């Protein structure tokens, strides 16, 4: 995307003469891309900032909390009822705890691909093989 700024308006905004503005300061060229993320589409201008996806992080943390409760002896039915969700939903989301550590880290840091959604992580069921997980998510395995 090429963005051309008005020399006159920019000079007036900064309270300087038009001759004080270098021509190179008046034109910006930025990469532009449309990225699909589930049912939504995002317009990405410039380099993508690393920002954690609040929903993905929340789902990952919740799944790990559930795993901790299961390890302490709570059954899935009780946990699901307490969280107001179905046992099936809990079981599907619980597979997030089995994601490769590098994938979980990328989600927490916000460096996962913009198109990575909860649905892509759980449907169809994510394989246990970490190399397949990395390939399916588009996240590079740590070296």
Q: What is the pLDDT, as a whole number, of residue 47?
A: 62
State which residues form the domain around 124: 54-137
Q: What is the pLDDT, as a whole number, of residue 132?
A: 96
What 8-state DSSP symbol labels residue 48?
A: P
Say yes or no: 73 and 30 in one domain.
no
Say yes or no: 37 and 13 in one domain.
yes
Handedness of CA 98, 126, 124, 117 (dihedral sign): positive
Q: 66 burial class (0-12, 13-18, 19+ CB within 10 angstroms)?
A: buried
pLDDT digits (tens, 9 = 90+) for 26-73: 888 877 777 666 666 766 666 656 788 999 999 999 999 999 999 999
Report CA-CA distances (Å) from 136 to 84, 101, 129.
30, 15, 11
Say yes or no: 40 and 101 in one domain.
no
pTM of the entire structure? 0.67
Q: What is the pLDDT, as a whole number, of residue 109?
A: 94
Tokens of 38: 């589930």
């Amino acid at each position: 995307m090429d963005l051309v700024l008005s020399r006159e308006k920019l000079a007036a905004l900064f309270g300087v003469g038009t001759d004080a503005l270098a021509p190179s300061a008046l034109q910006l060229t930025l990469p532009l891309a449309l990225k699909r993320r589930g049912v939504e589409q995002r317009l990405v201008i410039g380099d993508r900032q690393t920002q954690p996806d609040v929903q993905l992080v929340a789902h990952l943390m919740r799944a790990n909390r559930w795993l901790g409760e299961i390890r302490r002896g709570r059954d899935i039915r009780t946990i699901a009822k307490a969280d107001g969700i179905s046992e099936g939903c809990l079981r599907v989301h619980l597979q997030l705890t089995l994601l490769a550590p590098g994938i979980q880290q990328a989600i927490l840091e916000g460096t996962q691909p913009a198109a990575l959604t909860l649905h892509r992580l759980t449907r169809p069921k994510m394989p246990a093989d970490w190399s397949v997980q990395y390939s399916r998510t588009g996240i590079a395995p740590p070296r």
